[in-house]
Amino acid sequence: MSARTHLATVALGALTAAAGATAIEARRRVASRGIGALRPDTDLVRQVVARMTTPLLPDDYLHLLNPLWTAREVRGRVVRVVPETEDAATLVIRPGWGWSFDYQPGQYVGIGVSVEGRWLWRSYSITSAPRPDQRHFAVTVKAMPEGRLSGHLVRGLAPGTVVRLAVPQGGFVLPDPPPPRLLFWTGGSGVTPVMAMLRTLVRRGTMPDVVHVHAAPERSESLFADELRALADQHANYRLVEASRDRPVRVGDLERACPDWRLREAWVCGPERMLDDAEDHWRRAGLGDRLHLERFSASRTAEAEGGRITFAASDRVVEADGATSLLEAGEGAGVAMPFGCRMGICHTCVVPLASGAVQDLRNGDIYRDRQGIQTCVTAAAGDCTIDI
């Protein structure tokens, strides 16, 4: 048989299989949900392909054609890496199956990248407005001195890289419609979630009365500086107050920067000290319910004993000191740890503690065996075993 004849035979067989699988799936859908169930969608395609590939799954074949065609996990391909400053870059990512563009401006997404054979995960704020028609989203990453993954994302990630994605989440979001008066107070990379909010307001044409106080150590280090200044030029009701090391705006200076701050609903994101000061300032003014804070890390005031951590289901054992969270220790050992906010808020990281004890790094509380623990804010208090 010639190569051309062989190819034609294979193609005919594939068409026959597709037709038969489609007919079977169509009959099943009509019988269970009526004629309207025949509307083409991705689920119909997957069900047809599943029937063609049984006993294997469609993913066993489809990911070979396109790495983004998998339902086992959400993946994305890095389309562009756009430098923002010397130590920050925006990653434009095209997501694959399972991603939804109904995220809210201000939310963050978990990104997993393979570095030296291990998958490292971190969460970053989405900086693009939700726009399904663009078929991509963006996150902006600032390389941290101690951040192994952030440095790689900013300086070592090439366009075309396939990354793993978690579902967007977070409560630091802009409501729709927005309040008539807003105060954004951001510092450093804390501007990233607010950038998504501003871009959304511009896209919707619903820019309210906004005062935005933004601080960066130097003007050259200010993320989105040109875009923010352009917004101030184009929108009379958006006022930008820029601060720097030489011209700081501290919590006591808010009266000068924004005299009517008490009348505005506020979104504040930046360094830990700035957030603590803002929380105390709004609380003392009796306006705590008008303040929204976004913390990029948990406040750690305790240090545990450390010890040997056994990840029972993964068959991994690692020694960790008392300052390393169980989440960090597991990821370092190559364990696929669940995670979300990484700061003790969302409880996505909770796993069962099988034996031993762990300590909460925020307040020193001790948790013992047979209960769920937040791995992102607890560390080993002696030898322990967790069920993952």
311 and 290 inside one domain: no
The pLDDT tens digits of the residues spanning 42-95 come to 566 656 555 555 555 555 555 555 566 565 678 999 999 999 999 999 999 999
Higher local confidence (pLDDT), 117 or 327: 327
In the predicted structure, residue 118 carries a pLDDT above the cut 80: no
Q: Is residue 170 part of a domain?
A: no
Give the domain-ending residue among 294, 320, 347. Answer: 294
228 and 280 inside one domain: yes
Could you list the residue range(s) of the whole structural domain that residue 156 is in?
A: 74-165
Tokens, residue 21: 């699988």
DSSP codes, 76-97: EEEEEEEEEETTEEEEEEEE-T
61 and 83 inside one domain: no
Beta bridge partners of 88: 85, 142
177 cis-preceded (ω within 30 degrees of 0): yes
Q: What is the pTM of this model?
A: 0.72
The pLDDT tens digits of the residues spanning 319-349 come to 999 889 999 899 888 898 888 778 787 788 9
In the chain, beta strands by DSSP E: 74-85, 88-95, 108-115, 118-125, 137-142, 162-165, 181-187, 209-215, 238-243, 265-269, 291-294, 307-311, 316-320, 350-360, 366-368, 371-374, 378-386
DSSP codes, 283-297: HHTT-GGGEEEE-SS
Higher local confidence (pLDDT), 161 or 43: 161
289 and 186 inside one domain: yes
Specify the pLDDT at position 15.
55
Specify the pLDDT at position 117.
76
> What is the rounded CA–CA span in Å between residue 288 and residue 271?
19
285 and 187 inside one domain: yes
Q: What is the CATH number of the domain that holds 208?
A: 3.40.50.80
pLDDT band at 228 (very low <50, low <70, confident <90, very high): very high
Number of compact structural domains in the chain:
4
Specify the pLDDT at position 323.
87
In the predicted structure, residue 248 carries a pLDDT above the cut 50: yes
Q: What is the mean pLDDT of the chain?
A: 85
pLDDT band at 10 (very low <50, low <70, confident <90, very high): very low
Q: What is the CATH number of the domain that holds 132?
A: 2.40.30.10
140 and 230 inside one domain: no
Specify the pLDDT at position 8.
54
Specify the pLDDT at position 134.
81
8 and 84 inside one domain: no
Higher local confidence (pLDDT), 72 or 310: 310
Q: Is residue 173 part of a domain?
A: no
381 and 311 inside one domain: yes
Write the Ramachandran bin of 188: left for phi over 0, alpha for psi from -120 to 50, otherwise beta: left
Q: What is the CATH number of the domain that holds 382?
A: 3.10.20.30
107 and 195 inside one domain: no
189 and 273 inside one domain: yes
Q: Is residue 143 part of a domain?
A: yes
Q: Is residue 302 part of a domain?
A: no
Q: Is residue 9 part of a domain?
A: yes
148 and 242 inside one domain: no
Name the amino acid, one letter, at 331: E
> 3-state class of 302 per DSSP?
coil
Specify the pLDDT at position 216.
92
Higher local confidence (pLDDT), 43 or 147: 147
The pLDDT tens digits of the residues spanning 251-301 come to 888 999 999 999 999 999 999 899 999 999 999 999 999 999 998 776 666
Q: Is residue 301 part of a domain?
A: no
Mean pLDDT within 132-153: 87
Q: Is residue 176 part of a domain?
A: no
193 and 290 inside one domain: yes
Q: Please tell me the total number of residues recorded for the chain in this structure.
A: 388
Q: Is residue 299 part of a domain?
A: no
